[in-house]
Structure 1
Amino acid sequence: MPDSSELLLAVEFAGTGLHPASWRRDDSRAEDLFTARYWSDLVGSADRAGVDFAFLPDNFGVTSAENTVRGRLEAVGIAARLSTATSRIGLIPTATVTHTEPFHVAKAIQTIDHTTLGRAGWEVAVTRGDAPTRLFGRKEAQHDGSLWAEAHEAAEVASRLWDSWEDDAEIRDVETGRFVDRDKLHYIDFEGEYFSVKGPSITPRSPQGQPLIAVTISDEHSFDFAAARADLVRIRATDLRAAEDLADRVRAAANGRRLHVLLDVDLLLAASDGDATDDFSRLEDWAGAHYRPETVLHRGTSRGLVELLDGVRGVDGVVLRPLALSSTTQRLVADVLPALRPAAELVTGTLRERLGLDRPANRFTSAH
């Protein structure tokens, strides 16, 4: 397993930060939250510093709490904007499958893979509960087994749509006026319990062939999805030993299929441990509720985070989830990345190339 200098490093860019009261900090930049500049500045700085992936979370829930930010920009739209503001970092927005059509999600992610020259991924998620269901009014709320069965189908539909144009389907023959070879566009003819999709996609096959699939393990259903379909698997564990054990279980369940396991690490960085404790206490006072970490938490200095990452074993990387996004990103860029990767030459290319994953053969070409 990699040492800290070889760990894949990702940052989750969630609003003004993971903590619901983070917007109240003087340095939160909450006034810029719904501007392109906010996202370009933060993700752009992470891109230049060498962060490997930007996870952009999203869901259909609208919080009813009075002391937190209620609205958000849509993650796939943010990723599309960031395709021109970044040059290396992988862009992985969350797109929930519960109230969306896989045809739309597939072409949106594929478009970002084109515009970034192969830096797109899709974090698959489901949306639980009655309240989000009422926002759409299209169907009844589903139990977890049904939600994840639907997610399996949505991912399968997307995968087939991504292959529905063969790599050389575009011929652009000026003399005959033929832009595409129709024999190399394929109906996917998918019939499932949740979706019936004929295809083909409107978008040609993209640089990675198949953009990366990511998922966060939260229960047995998402575990099964991760083992069967994900290229990037996010896990949560309250200590490093438990994280290593869970990563081993995921790899065993994948039955030899290549995947990369990333441990979520919540963090709040400050100039000293005492400052970090004070900052955290202030956030808790503002929120009027207690933040309860679901995974490893580092609340302290940049040096302390580097020491923590030096002890990480059994996983391929980490997803850093700042409780206060703007200030912590600045410290990651200024202090943490240079310590982990001093004078390192940043690897470029598609995400699949950088991860050592083969570009998948097109299923329709292979079937000829």
Structure 2
Amino acid sequence: MLCLAAAVDVPGCFGAEPYVELVRLAERGGLDFVTLDDSFVRPGPDALAVLSRAAPVTRRIGLVPTLTTTHTEPFRVQAAVATLDWVSRGRAGWRIDVSAGEDEARLFGRRRAASAEVLWDEAGEVAAVAARLWDSWEEDAEIRDVPTGRFLDRETLRRVDFTGGTFSVRGPSTVPRPPQGHPVRVVDATEAQARTVAARYADVALIRVATPAQAAAVREELCARAAESGRDPETLRTLVSLLVDLGDGEYAAEPGHGGGGPRPTARGPLYRGGPVGLAELVAGWHADGVTDGFHLVPVEPRRDLERLVNGTVAVLQHRGLFRTFYPGSTLREHLGLARPADPYAMTGGTS
């Protein structure tokens, strides 16, 4: 199954509507999900708020905002992601990231900037405790008994007492178990420091690589680490993340672009060419088994996303390589990922 996702970042835009328009365009193309980046120091609207705005005007596409685990409260982060899952009826994801800059640390004033290794260790703990908090309500915790005025059964709520290296959390969550059980967790695993977190906790790992050989090597490493951590590697999707510039169509292809593949740049691997050439690249890499799909980042958001949907996706659909409709309603279903079972239901309700 080929997975396709796209970024909907619009630099310099502060209103929600341009983002919502791009999300709806991506949904028209049947993409699995969209991402929206975020940072404490970069001007722009809050990614979670923007995609929450997109939720009621879309029906199927997954919504994956970036939420950093640095300088934020893990309890609030998991509750926000769970709320997005409820608002979107099971289409939420969470792109886990860290804030390594001193300028970001100064905004909060609680601690100095730490190394990438320390921050990603913390991110792993946040990812772990988030899952425990999502599971802290049993599936049937909400009883909504109007005659007695009882909203929930307290006996079905589970304590979560977690102490990590930099934070502690006491549960249960304030939000019922999300529709997906666990919203989809996404990690950019390009940098070595993030790969342990991706292998242990991510449902989707993004890798910025310029060649099929690089993609295969990183994917193999992630799958091996997943197995070492006790996971089934088949539960981890790896997507190659590429910048795409479709501005000059097929005529833009030149050595190192188009049929020759992406070219490394300071911002990451860049494909410059046309929609048909991009479809050939996507189909070829996927057929070789080096990736489960692609996360495409338009250089010019509206122009490139339109050409991606109307050109690249259309070609892949015509060849029977990409779906023409959403077979399910949740992001997990789009990605072919099982919904995590309620662990307390599996153990007879014991904690």
TM-score, normalization by structure 2: 0.88
* Structure 2 counterpart of 1:317, from 293, 296, 301: 293
- Note the alpha carbon deviations across 1:64-109, whole angstroms, 9 max, x for none: xxxxxxx111111111111112111111111000111111111111
Runs of 4+ off more than 4 Å: 273-277
Q: Does 1:326 align with 2:302?
A: yes
Asked if structure 2 preserves the Cα contact closer than 8 Å seen for 1:269 and 1:276, the reply is no
Which residue is 2:261 aligned to?
A: none
Q: What do residues 91-139 of structure 1 show as CA deviations (whole Å, max 9, x unaligned)? A: 1111000111111111111011111111111011011121111111111
Q: CA shift at 1:362, angstroms?
A: 2.4
Q: CA offsets, 1:16-46, max 9 Å, x none? A: 4xxxxxxxxxxxxx6xx22221011111011
Counterpart residue number, 1:301: 274
2:312 and 2:343 map into 1 onto residues whose CA distance is: 42
Residue 206 in structure 1 maps to residue 172 in structure 2 = no
Q: CA shift at 1:263, angstroms?
A: 0.3
2:338 aligned with 1:363:
no
Unaligned runs of 5+ in 1: 1-5, 17-29, 63-70, 278-289
Paired residue for 1:348, among 321, 325, 328?
A: 328
Aligned to 1:22: none
What does 1:42-61 correspond to in 2, within 5 Å? 42-61=22-41
In the TM superposition, what are the counterparts of 1:160-239 in structure 2 within 5 Å? 160-239=132-211
Query: 1:194, CA displacement in angstroms?
Result: 1.5
Structure 2: distance between partners of 1:196 and 1:238: 40
The one-letter code matched in structure 2 to 1:269 is: L
| Higher normalized contact order (CA 8 Å, seq sep 6+, divided by chain length) | 1
Change (3 A) 1:233 1:336: same
Separation of aligned partners in 1, 2:15 and 2:82? 24
**How many residues are aligned here?**
328
- CA displacement at 1:291 relative to structure 2: 5.3
Distance 2:112 2:80 in 1: 26
Cα offset for 1:364? 3.5
Q: Is the 8 A contact 2:242 2:268 kept in 1?
A: no
Give the whole-Å Cα distance in 1 for the aligned partners of 2:75 and 2:89.
21
- TM-score w.r.t. the length of structure 1 is 0.84
> Is the 8 Å Cα contact of residues 10 and 52 (structure 1) preserved in structure 2?
yes
2:311 is matched by which residue type in structure 1? D
Match of 2:21 in 1: 41
Tell me how far 1:275 sits from its aligned partner: 5.8
SS at match of 1:99: coil
- Judge conservation of contact 1:268–1:276 (CA < 8 Å) in 2: no
Give the counterpart letter for 2:324 in structure 1. A
Give unmatched runs, 5+ long, in structure 2: 255-263
What is the distance in 1 between the residues matched to 2:89 and 2:302?
A: 27
- The DSSP-based 3-state class of the residue aligned with 1:204 is coil
Q: State which of 8, 12, 20 in structure 2 corresponds to 1:13.
A: 8
In structure 2, relative to structure 1, the CA distance for the partners of 1:293 and 1:273 (3 Å cut) is farther
Question: Which secondary structure does the structure 2 equivalent of 1:58 belong to?
Answer: coil
Query: Structure 2 vs 1, CA of residues 361 and 234 (structure 1 numbering), >3 Å: closer, same or farther?
Result: same
- Does structure 2 retain, via aligned residues, the 8 Å contact 1:215–1:232? yes
2:247 aligns to what? 270
Change (3 A) 1:307 1:43: same
In structure 2, relative to structure 1, the CA distance for the partners of 1:260 and 1:275 (3 Å cut) is: closer
> Matched residues in 1 for 2:252 and 2:238: separation?
32
Helix, strand or coil: the match of 1:83? helix
**CA deviation map 1:219-238 (0-9, x unaligned):** 22201111111100001112
SS in 1 for 2:9: coil
